[in-house]
Amino acid sequence: GNSVTQMEGPVTLSEEAFLTINCTYTATGYPSLFWYVQYPGEGLQLLLKATKADDKGSNKGFEATYRKETTSFHLEKGSVQVSDSAVYFCALSDRGGATNKLIFGTGTLLAVQP
Amino acid sequence: EADIYQTPRYLVIGTGKKITLECSQTMGHDKMYWYQQDPGMELHLIHYSYGVNSTEKGDLSSESTVSRIRTEHFPLTLESARPSHTSQYLCASRGQASYEQYFGPGTRLTVT
């Protein structure tokens, strides 16, 4: 079945460091891919998405490119801030299922220190 | 900006009580979802709905029940709360035209 694997955390970085959070997926067909962010005490917010191979999603300085050849959708940011501290979830849409549900990775906690 | 609301945000309740967690959205979305999020952060789909009068069990077995009488409203009910129900509950919805889901702020439930 479809699945998402993302790197385990916590990831601890200093402010202005470069961020990569790895995400790989297994899917039949051509799923859409998403990154969600969850700040403490809140629900999930859509951070960015990509709907087809080679698409690059971007938002708030974060980027991720849909790589079909490596089945990956790694999240990157060139210079993190303390305010980026949160849990990040990679997800794919299960287009083949009747619900078109999202399949989530287990989440990666990012802690950015000043 | 998505408009999806959950109440209460926090609830502490004793064992055996009946509770209802409210979820409402103003976007006219047909599909709605309930997730349970454990302390390890992982999300588990417990219920979903295609539209009015449609409800289905999710991937994780749950003792809760849901109803969908109106498009905008998708409440979750626990008939008899137990400490094992202590968790964060997240509601989400999506429209027909895209696959992304929009989440509410969550209800953190503690059963003592």
pLDDT tens-digit map of A68-79: 999 999 999 999
Mean pLDDT of the region A10-28:
96
Task: Name the band, by pLDDT with cuts 50, 70 and 90, for residue A96.
Answer: low
CA A65, distance to chain mean position in Å, is: 10
Q: Select the residue of B41, B101, B104 nearest A107 (Cβ to Cβ).
A: B41
Check B99 against A45: CB less than 8 A apart: no
User: Comparing A1-10, A16-25, A48-57, which segment has the lowest mean pLDDT?
Assistant: A1-10
Mean pLDDT of chain A: 93
User: Comparing A93-97, B71-75, B83-87, which segment has the lowest mean pLDDT?
Assistant: A93-97
Mean pLDDT of the region A25-42:
92
Kindly state the percentage of chain B with pLDDT values over 90: 82
Q: Is B13 on the interface with A (CB under 8 A)?
A: no
Check A99 against B99: CB less than 8 A apart: no
pLDDT at B24: 98
pLDDT at A76: 98
> Regarding beta strands B31-37 and A3-6, do their DSSP bridges make them parallel or antiparallel, or are they unpaired?
unpaired
Whether residue B72 is predicted with pLDDT greater than 60 in this model: the reply is yes
User: Comparing A28-32, A45-49, B92-96, which segment has the lowest mean pLDDT?
Assistant: A28-32
Nearest to A112 by CA among A56, A59, A61: A61
Q: Is A46 on the interface with B (CB under 8 A)?
A: yes
Q: Is A77 on the interface with B (CB under 8 A)?
A: no
Whether residue B1 is predicted with pLDDT greater than 60 in this model: the reply is no
CB atoms within 10 A of CB A9: 16
Mapped onto helix, strand or coil, the DSSP state of residue B83 is: helix
Nearest to B108 by CA among B1, B40, B13, B4: B13
Question: Is the pLDDT higher at A17 or at B96?
Answer: A17
Chain A, nearest residue to B33 by Cα: A101
pLDDT at A11: 96
Check A106 against B42: CB less than 8 A apart: yes
Mean pLDDT of chain B: 93
Q: Is B8 on the interface with A (CB under 8 A)?
A: no
Mean pLDDT of the region B104-110:
96
Check A95 against B99: CB less than 8 A apart: yes
Check A44 against B94: CB less than 8 A apart: no
pLDDT at B2: 60
Check A104 against B43: CB less than 8 A apart: yes
Cβ contacts of A49 on chain B, cutoff 8 Å: 100
Strand partners, A59: A62
Whether residue A97 is predicted with pLDDT greater than 60 in this model: the reply is no
